[in-house]
Amino acid sequence: MKIRKARKEDLASLINLYKQLYDAEKVFDQNLKNEFDNSIKQEQTILKRINSRKEIFLVAEDNNKIIGLIDGYIIDNIHHIEKVGYLDHICIDENYRKQNLATTLIEKFSIKLKNKNVKYLKLNAFRHNIPATNLYEKLGFKEYSVYYIKEI
């Protein structure tokens, strides 16, 4: 397995992974909109992110098959003393989970951020997504903010 920068040729595989991520997260939020429905707009959004200098977009590849992704960016530093990176999405293909691939992707993502003088890495997770929160805590992430929602 190797970790590399995402490329436009990866688009179909990336959409498949984003769909898996959406399906997994829909359990925690019934109001989630499926943003990765193969629409031209979403393809353009993903390609823009792949090509952006502000984004870090990596894939895990095994035998020329994309089996995982991680993407994010450096947060505008206007509100922080030190640079903060944001992990936007991480997904491992359902057939390759429980092999420490998410840990490897987060470590590689963190190295890319460190090389850009980023001091902190931030992410959001659903509190009831126990596998995800356990992973993040195992990797040293600490809860520091809570979002609330109410149906009105």
What are the structural domain ranges in the chain?
2-138
Yes or no: domain 2-138 corresponds to CATH 3.40.630.30: yes
- Rounded CA separation 27/91 (Å): 15
Cβ neighbourhood burial of 25 (10 Å; 0-12, 13-18, 19+): middle
- Please give the radius of gyration of the chain, using alpha carbons only, rounded to the nearest integer: 15
| Closest to 85 (Cα-Cα) out of 52, 132, 117 | 117
pLDDT band at 40 (very low <50, low <70, confident <90, very high): confident
Q: What average pLDDT score do residues 40-66 get? A: 91
pLDDT band at 151 (very low <50, low <70, confident <90, very high): confident
Write down the pLDDT at residue 76. 76
pLDDT of 31 over the 80 cut: no
Q: What average pLDDT score do residues 53-67 get? A: 94
CA distances from 76 to 85, 104, 119 (A): 9, 26, 13
Cβ neighbourhood burial of 69 (10 Å; 0-12, 13-18, 19+): buried
Cβ neighbourhood burial of 61 (10 Å; 0-12, 13-18, 19+): middle
